[in-house]
Amino acid sequence: MLRAAALGMFLYGLHDAVSAVADLLGEEPLPWWASLWRLFAGGILTLAAAFVRASLPGGIALAFAGLLGLQAISLHNDTYFYGELLLAPQLGRAGYGALLVTLAYLGWDSNEQPTS
């Protein structure tokens, strides 16, 4: 479970980081600060995936912070692009984040020590 959670977090964070760079370079981008926020939160989640996989203390908390940051900027982006909040995509994103954190928590092995 821990491996699946870490892989899901890594791919989710990487996707949002790459999308943020594309938004910064695109024709009709988001405001620059929103793209940087998305890039930063995606990078945090990508880094947290390695911490979660290694069962390092604080890894799940860091991943949760990255997921909340991505959820928050997604709420902004919906209202920016569509003028309203799209409920189904937001619930899907929140559900996926909750699933990843739950899998990480259930698969967490506090006795596992990183190998050198």
116 occurs within a structural domain = no
Q: pTM of the prediction?
A: 0.87
User: Is the distance from CB of 30 to CB of 48 less than 8 angstroms?
Assistant: no
114 occurs within a structural domain = no
Q: Which of 72, 67, 24 is nearest to 44 (CA)?
A: 67
Domain total for the chain?
1
32 occurs within a structural domain = yes
113 occurs within a structural domain = no
The share of the chain scoring above pLDDT 90, in percent, equals 70
Using alpha carbons only, how large is the chain's radius of gyration in Å? 15
> What is the domain range of residue 51?
2-107
Query: Alpha-carbon distance 103 to 101, whole Å?
Result: 5
Quick one: pLDDT at residue 105? Answer: 93
CB atoms within 10 A of CB 36: 15
Q: What is the pLDDT of residues 94-104, one digit of tens each?
A: 999 999 999 99
Q: What is the pLDDT of residues 11-59, one digit of tens each?
A: 999 999 999 999 889 877 788 899 999 999 999 999 999 999 998 999 9
